[in-house]
Structure 1
Amino acid sequence: MEKLVSNWFNDQPLPQSYIFPPETRPGNHVIPGCSTIPVVDLSKASGHDRTGIVQQILKASREFGFFQVVNHGVSENLVNDTMNLFKEFFELPAEDKASVYSEDPKRPCRLYTSSSNYETEKVHLWRDNLRHPCHPLEECIKIWPQKPTRYRETVAAYSIEAKKLGLRILELVAEGLGLSSGFFGDKLSESVLLSVNHYPPCPDPSLTLGVSKHCDPNLLTILHQGDVHGLQVYKDGEWIGVEPLHNAFVVNIGHQLQIISNNKLKSAEHRAVTNSKVSRTTAAFFINPSDDCIIEPVKSLIDTDESPAYRAFRFKEFLLNYVSITGNPEKSLEPFKLHV
């Protein structure tokens, strides 16, 4: 528990163990926000503009691997209640968080700091993380935090809406790719993992990171980043800040969607920077295939003049490899590529 950044950060200089090597530091030239990340108005997907919205999503998924959605149908009150609850969780007294804290990466519901490999990592991340599965809800909810008192009730309602939104976006992606309705249902989107990151104010944001450069290993990520800058996407050799928009969700393509589309969609590298003035709390829902789900490029998405870019594999195999090479996003796809 004493390792949690939120327990000791006040009035402390940045410890040496949190200072990143010069080549990976964000530095002082940080782009706080940028309007180039596409914004999709999902309310238009129900009418005559549906085709245009589908093409907008596909274009963003090819060029950025990221986009934001507004008018998404998730209650603003529910989003605000849940995000306030997450902030309240990290402000709980240490004794109330102790039952959830664990340094065992195999524990399904746990509060921890930095990454899963705190003891062996060369440099620590400036963040605390609460992570637990969300579906099937009836089973998962039993292991969730019991404090704050409304945690289980509120997060359950939120997780249902987040998964519903994710499936809606995946349906639009399937339509754009020419795949059958419901293609991304069942085993391809069976599992949902919640990851809540809490970044306390940092004494020197130029030297450290909240989350290192990485790509998500899952199918699709639905993120609420609150109203504080911090998320950045790597594109064309630059870090682009993702502007926090009122009542919007950030959506990003995971590795599995890139593989299934045979590289037609892009899983983009991204990271989280810190700031010196206020804390930042974000909540991401990772939509994952089941462990035994077979992942491979869809034959209809392989053009006549090209070959499949990846071999078939079980999602569990991909995850085990991804975890073993944490910190090296360039290598996460290598064991699954077919070099023709």
Structure 2
Amino acid sequence: MNIPIIDISPLIQNTPEKFQVAEKIGQACRENGFFYIIGHQVDLELQQKLEKLSKSFFSLSLDQKMKIKMSNGGLAWRGYFPCGDELTSGRPDMKEGIYFGEELDQGNELVKIKTPLHGPNLFPDDEIPEFRNVVLEYMKSIKELGHKILEGIALSLNLDESYFYNRYTKIPLQLFRIFNYPKVELNTEEELWGVGEHTDYGLLTILKQDNSGGLQVKCKTEWIEAPPIDNSFVCNIGDMLDRMTGGLYRSTPHRVKCQFKNDRLSYPFFFDPNFFAQVKKIENIELREEDRNERWDKSSVHEFCGTYGDYLIKKVSKVFPELKEQVLS
């Protein structure tokens, strides 16, 4: 079983071949929920700058990195966390990272009303002053890419290409992470996980990964590798697209195995519904058999009531329980 590689340049260029691209995306979403994209036109030099500056950041001392620790980000839930602070299914992940989101100042209305996960980012401006502009430029590029991919997903469902934009992503929730998985000794018999089995929460994840490998995807009952491909992104659908399609497009479990001779850098961008959106099943799509017992967390993405923000806060609070008490108490 292989994860398909899809050239999305017709979607980007809005040519008639975009309908064929949409068919390929739909097939990938039905069969395994993961696909590579090429032809995305995200500037390669920008990607290389991001990689270089990320390496510089993670090579700083812990004291320097902790200047932008997540507890300093407050309700915006932004900043740095050290290795072991993030949990998956209650177990510490073997990674460190930085959380970013849409850059919003204190005058923004959503910030004024104290909306969780909204606010200013934290950057290492003293140590790496150019990091700020590169991260924000990269996020802008991937946001635009997310809109185009969702147009393809809409077409794959025989919907108007602006379906998701009009209902959920005119003002999307953008969550961007930079993760560093430190190198590990490989002579142990114990399997070590940079991050354990999980699904993503929102609509679409657009992942840039370095050349280290380690990403694994669960296709039906089999775990397969998602190896690096030059100048590609790995895309996967999240719980909300699973919910919208009644399980036709299932959010797929994945994990990262520690097998690195060097540090591994990973750049997931979560392109999600608006925080206040009520996420509903698409009309005229049947709800498929509930897969609660097969899911990694034994929960249903179809039964919850509330906004996407409600769903996300509940999930993220399990990842950082100490931060949950500080921010949401």
2:308 aligned to 307, 315, 328, which one? 315
2:2 is paired with a residue whose SS is coil
Change (3 A) 1:100 1:324: closer
Contact 1:83 1:283 in 2 (8 A): no
Aligned length: 291
Q: Distance in 2 between matches of 1:115 and 1:313?
A: 31
Q: Distance in 1 between matches of 2:120 and 2:312?
A: 23
* CA displacement 1:201-247 (0-9 Å, x = unmatched): 11247431100100001111010011110111011322111020000
The residue that corresponds to 1:191 in the other structure is 173
The residue that corresponds to 1:28 in the other structure is none
* CA displacement 1:281-335 (0-9 Å, x = unmatched): 01111112222210110113338x99995565311221233246669xxxxxxxx
1:110 paired to 2:79:
yes
The residue that corresponds to 2:230 in the other structure is 246
Q: Distance in 2 between matches of 1:178 and 1:137?
A: 39
Shift of 1:156: 1.2
Q: How does 1:200-239 map to 2 (within 5 A)?
A: 200-204=182-186, 206-239=190-223
Shift of 1:102: 3.6
The structure 1 segments of at least 4 consecutive aligned residues displaced by more than 6 Å after TM superposition are 305-308
The residue that corresponds to 1:68 in the other structure is 36
What amino acid is aligned across from residue 202 of structure 1 in structure 2?
Answer: V
* CA displacement 1:139-187 (0-9 Å, x = unmatched): 7555333241111111111101001111100011111212223222266
1:158 aligned to 135, 138, 153, which one? 138
What amino acid is aligned across from residue 145 of structure 1 in structure 2?
Answer: P
Contact 1:253 1:266 in 2 (8 A): yes
Q: Distance in 1 between matches of 2:37 and 2:164?
A: 19
2:258 aligned to 252, 270, 274, which one? 274
1:168 paired to 2:148:
yes
Q: Distance in 1 between matches of 2:78 and 2:55?
A: 17
| 5+ long unaligned stretches in structure 2 | 109-118, 291-300, 321-329
The residue that corresponds to 2:323 in the other structure is none
Change (3 A) 1:141 1:157: farther
2:247 aligned to 263, 271, 278, which one? 263
1:43 paired to 2:2:
no
Shift of 1:50: 2.0
The residue that corresponds to 2:51 in the other structure is 83
Change (3 A) 1:239 1:113: farther
1:301 is paired with a residue whose SS is coil
TM-score, normalised on structure 1? 0.77
What amino acid is aligned across from residue 178 of structure 2 in structure 1?
Answer: V
Please say which of residues 87-96 and 208-217 is displaced more in the overlay. 87-96
The residue that corresponds to 2:22 in the other structure is 54
| 5+ long unaligned stretches in structure 1 | 1-34, 328-340
Change (3 A) 1:202 1:117: closer
2:309 is paired with a residue whose SS is helix
1:210 is paired with a residue whose SS is strand
TM-score, normalised on structure 2? 0.79
Change (3 A) 1:320 1:145: same
Shift of 1:193: 0.7
Q: Distance in 2 between matches of 1:122 and 1:55?
A: 38
Shift of 1:44: 3.5
1:78 is paired with a residue whose SS is helix
Q: Distance in 2 between matches of 1:177 and 1:289?
A: 18
2:312 is paired with a residue whose SS is helix
Change (3 A) 1:306 1:180: farther
What amino acid is aligned across from residue 134 of structure 2 in structure 1?
Answer: T
Identity of aligned residues (%): 26
2:155 is paired with a residue whose SS is helix
Q: Distance in 2 between matches of 1:309 and 1:276?
A: 37
What amino acid is aligned across from residue 222 of structure 1 in structure 2?
Answer: I
Change (3 A) 1:186 1:80: farther
The CA RMSD measured in Å over matched residues stands at 3.0
What amino acid is aligned across from residue 82 of structure 1 in structure 2?
Answer: L
